[in-house]
C-alpha cells in the first residue's frame, strides 16, 4: 500500500465528509431528504458546514504534532484484587490509557503480591504520606487516593502536561493562610476565653501575681498541647483514610454549617456552639484548685469541651494540612496553635499588669455577638474557598 502524507489523508477525509454533506452518499441520504429548510438558509448552513469541515481537516496535522510532543506522564497504580473501588478505577484507567497516548500506567496488585506491597511502602515513604489502603495513584510529583474520579485524574494529567508544579489540594497551602486562620481561630475562641478569665478571677484572691502568671501559663500550655494533639490526630485520620472528595465534602459542610449557626446566633442572641451546660459546674469545681496540675487538667478539659466553638475553622485547616508530609504539617500546626493561643496570652498579660478580669469578662460578653458574626463569616469564607478548590 503506497505511503501517503497526513495532508493527503486529511484531504481524503474532507472529500468523504463533503460527499456526505451533499447527500451524495447513502449514509446521509435519508437525513438530507428529511431536512425542511428554506433553500437560501440551507445554502448558508452548507457553506458554514464546509468551512468547519475544512478547518477541522487542516487542523489534523497540527493536532498530531501536539499529541506527539506531549510529555510522558507516568502513573503508578496500587490496587487490591478484591477491592471493589479498585475494580471501578481499573476500568477508568483503561479508558484513560486509550484517551491519552502519552500516559503510561504501571499497575501493582498489593493484596497477594508481597513485592508490590513492599514497593507500595516505599512509595508512601517517598511521597511522605500515610495512606492506609488502596486504590492509590502516584503521579510524577503527587498522588491521589480514596474516592478518585475521572475529573481528578484528568486534572492532574492536564497540570503535568502544562508543566505546572504540584498543585493538588493541600500541597501549596501558604504560610499567610495558616497565619490568618490561626489568628481568626484565636479571636473567636470564646469558650476558652471564658474559662481562662474564670480561672484568673479565682487566682487573684491569692494576691500573688507571680503565681497567677505561672498557673495561667500552665493553663495556656495545656490548651496549646491539647489542641496540637487533637489536630495531629485528625490529620493522621484524614491521611490514613485518604482525603478523598467525600471527606472533603463533609469538612466543607461542617465549616459552612458552623458559619451559618454563628451568624444566626448573632441575630438571635443564642450561643449554640458553646460550652455545654453539663460541663460548666465541673469547670467551676476545677477552678477552685489553684495548682499547676489542676490548671493543666482544666486546660485539657476546656479545650476538648470547647471544640465546637472553633471546629468550623480548625477542621478545614487540618484537612488541608493532611496533604502535606507529617513533619511539614507538624511545623505548620505548631505555628497555627501558637497564633491560636496569642489572645489567651494577651488576657493573661492584661491581668498580670493590673487589669481586672471582671472588666475583661464584661468586654467578652459585650462583644460576644460581634465575635460570633466575625467567626461565622470567616467559616463561610473558608468553606466557600474549599468548595471552589482554592484551598
Same-domain pairing of 218 and 280: yes
Same-domain pairing of 247 and 366: yes
DSSP-assigned letters across all residues of 163-178: T----STTTS--HHHH
Beta strands in 127-169 (DSSP E): 136-138, 143-145
**Beta pairing partners, 256:** none
Closest by CA to 184, choosing from 340, 318, 320, is 340
Strands 136-138 and 103-109: unpaired
Q: Is residue 24 part of a domain?
A: yes
Same-domain pairing of 60 and 83: no
Same-domain pairing of 80 and 207: no
Q: Is the pLDDT of residue 204 over 70?
A: yes
Highest-confidence segment of 45-49, 122-126, 163-167 = 122-126
**Of residues 119 and 65, which shows the higher confidence score?**
119
pLDDT average, residue stretch 183-212: 85
Same-domain pairing of 121 and 189: no
Distance CA 62, CA 127 (A): 37
C-alpha distances (whole Å) from 263 to each of 67, 193, 250, 259, 311 are 52, 20, 20, 6, 15
φ, ψ (nearest 5 deg) of residue 330: -65, -45
Distance CA 204, CA 383 (A): 41
Q: Is residue 169 part of a domain?
A: no
Same-domain pairing of 259 and 383: yes
**Of residues 2 and 88, which shows the higher confidence score?**
88
Q: Is the pLDDT of residue 210 over 80?
A: yes
Q: Is residue 364 part of a domain?
A: yes
pTM: 0.57
Closest by CA to 75, choosing from 99, 102, 95, 98, is 102
Q: Is residue 168 part of a domain?
A: no
Q: Please work out, in degrees rounded to the nearest 5, the angle formed at the alpha carbon of residue 256 by the alpha carbons of 254 and 261.
A: 90
Q: Is the pLDDT of residue 12 over 50?
A: no
Same-domain pairing of 217 and 87: no
How many H helices and E strands in the chain?
15, 4
- How many domains does the structure of the chain reveal? 3
pLDDT at res. 247: 78
pLDDT at res. 130: 67
Sign (positive/negative) of CA torsion 354, 359, 363, 368? positive
Q: Is the pLDDT of residue 166 over 50?
A: no
Instruction: Write down which residue in 38, 68, 98 finishes a domain.
Output: 68
φ, ψ (nearest 5 deg) of residue 349: -65, -45
pLDDT average, residue stretch 113-140: 83
Q: Is residue 203 part of a domain?
A: yes
Q: What is the pLDDT of residues 18-65, one digit of tens each?
A: 454 444 444 444 444 444 445 554 455 455 445 445 544 444 444 444
Same-domain pairing of 61 and 78: no
Same-domain pairing of 91 and 232: no
pLDDT at res. 46: 54
pLDDT average, residue stretch 111-127: 86
Same-domain pairing of 196 and 301: yes
Q: Is residue 216 part of a domain?
A: yes
Hey, what's the cell of 374? 466575625
Highest-confidence segment of 28-37, 48-57, 97-106, 231-240 = 97-106
Instruction: Write down which residue in 128, 161, 194 finishes a domain.
Output: 161
pLDDT at res. 5: 45
Q: Dihedral, CA atoms, 337, 340, 343, 346, nearest 10 degrees?
A: 10
Distance CA 287, CA 381 (A): 36
Sign (positive/negative) of CA torsion 202, 207, 209, 215? negative
Distance CA 90, CA 157 (A): 17
Cβ neighbors of 60 (< 8 A, separation 6 or more) are 6, 9, 10, 13
Same-domain pairing of 235 and 334: yes
Q: Is the pLDDT of residue 143 over 80?
A: yes
Q: Is residue 143 part of a domain?
A: yes
Q: What CATH number did the domain enclosing 140 receive?
A: 3.40.30.10
For the ranges 25-34, 43-52, 126-135, 193-202, which has the lowest average pLDDT?
25-34
**Beta pairing partners, 136:** 78, 145
CA 119 to chain CA centroid, Å, is 27
Q: Is the pLDDT of residue 93 over 90?
A: yes
Distance CA 335, CA 175 (A): 9
Q: Is the pLDDT of residue 178 over 60?
A: yes
Q: Is the pLDDT of residue 9 over 50?
A: no
φ, ψ (nearest 5 deg) of residue 286: -70, -30
Strands 103-109 and 73-79: parallel
φ, ψ (nearest 5 deg) of residue 38: -55, 145
Say if CB 64 and CB 101 are below 8 A apart.
Answer: no
Say if CB 283 and CB 205 are below 8 A apart.
Answer: no
pLDDT band at 131 (very low <50, low <70, confident <90, very high): low
pLDDT at res. 31: 43
Same-domain pairing of 183 and 300: yes
**Beta pairing partners, 177:** none
> Coil, strand or helix: which one is 75?
strand
Instruction: Write down which residue in 35, 53, 68 finishes a domain.
Output: 68
Q: Domain residues for 213?
A: 175-387
**Beta pairing partners, 79:** 109
Q: What is the pLDDT of residues 345-364, one digit of tens each?
A: 999 999 888 888 888 888 88
Q: Is the pLDDT of residue 289 over 80?
A: no
pLDDT at res. 275: 78
Distance CA 202, CA 218 (A): 15
Q: Please work out, in degrees rounded to the nearest 5, the angle formed at the alpha carbon of residue 368 by the alpha carbons of 267 and 311.
A: 90
pLDDT at res. 309: 84
pLDDT at res. 137: 92
Strands 73-79 and 143-145: unpaired
Q: Is residue 167 part of a domain?
A: no
Hey, what's the cell of 49? 458546514
Amino acid at each position: 500500500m503506497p505511503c501517503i502524507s497526513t495532508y493527503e489523508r486529511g484531504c481524503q477525509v474532507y472529500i468523504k465528509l463533503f460527499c456526505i454533506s451533499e447527500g451524495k452518499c447513502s449514509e446521509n441520504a435519508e437525513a438530507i431528504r428529511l431536512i425542511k429548510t428554506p433553500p437560501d438558509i440551507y445554502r448558508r448552513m452548507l457553506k458554514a458546514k464546509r468551512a468547519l469541515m475544512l478547518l477541522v481537516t487542516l487542523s489534523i496535522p497540527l493536532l498530531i504534532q501536539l499529541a506527539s510532543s506531549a510529555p510522558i506522564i507516568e502513573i503508578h497504580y496500587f490496587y487490591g484484587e478484591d477491592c471493589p473501588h479498585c475494580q471501578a478505577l481499573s476500568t477508568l484507567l483503561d479508558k484513560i490509557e486509550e484517551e491519552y497516548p502519552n500516559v503510561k500506567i504501571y499497575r501493582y496488585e498489593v493484596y497477594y503480591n508481597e513485592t508490590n506491597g513492599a514497593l507500595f511502602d516505599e512509595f508512601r515513604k517517598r511521597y511522605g504520606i500515610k495512606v492506609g489502603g488502596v486504590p492509590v495513584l502516584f503521579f510524577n510529583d503527587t498522588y491521589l487516593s480514596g474516592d478518585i474520579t475521572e475529573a481528578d485524574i484528568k486534572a492532574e494529567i492536564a497540570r503535568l502536561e502544562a508543566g505546572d508544579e504540584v498543585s493538588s489540594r493541600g500541597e501549596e497551602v501558604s504560610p499567610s493562610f495558616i497565619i490568618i486562620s490561626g489568628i481568626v481561630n484565636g479571636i473567636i475562641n470564646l469558650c476558652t476565653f471564658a474559662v481562662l478569665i474564670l480561672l484568673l478571677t479565682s487566682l487573684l484572691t491569692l494576691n500573688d501575681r507571680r503565681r497567677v502568671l505561672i498557673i495561667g501559663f500552665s493553663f495556656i500550655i495545656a490548651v496549646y498541647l491539647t489542641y496540637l494533639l487533637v489536630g495531629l490526630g485528625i490529620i493522621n485520620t484524614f491521611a490514613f483514610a485518604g482525603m478523598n472528595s467525600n471527606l472533603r465534602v463533609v469538612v466543607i459542610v461542617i465549616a459552612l454549617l458552623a458559619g451559618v449557626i454563628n451568624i444566626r446566633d448573632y441575630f438571635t442572641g443564642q450561643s449554640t456552639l458553646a460550652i455545654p451546660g453539663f460541663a460548666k459546674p465541673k469547670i467551676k469545681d476545677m477552678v477552685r484548685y489553684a495548682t499547676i496540675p489542676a490548671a493543666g487538667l482544666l486546660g485539657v478539659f476546656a479545650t476538648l469541651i470547647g471544640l465546637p466553638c472553633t471546629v468550623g475553622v480548625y477542621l478545614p485547616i487540618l484537612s488541608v494540612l493532611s496533604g502535606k508530609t507529617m513533619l511539614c504539617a507538624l511545623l505548620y500546626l505548631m505555628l497555627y496553635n501558637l497564633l491560636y493561643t496569642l489572645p489567651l496570652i494577651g488576657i493573661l498579660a492584661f491581668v498580670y499588669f493590673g487589669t481586672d478580669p471582671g472588666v475583661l469578662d464584661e468586654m467578652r460578653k459585650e462583644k460576644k455577638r460581634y465575635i460570633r458574626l466575625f467567626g461565622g463569616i470567616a467559616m463561610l469564607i473558608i468553606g466557600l474557598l474549599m468548595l471552589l478548590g482554592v484551598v
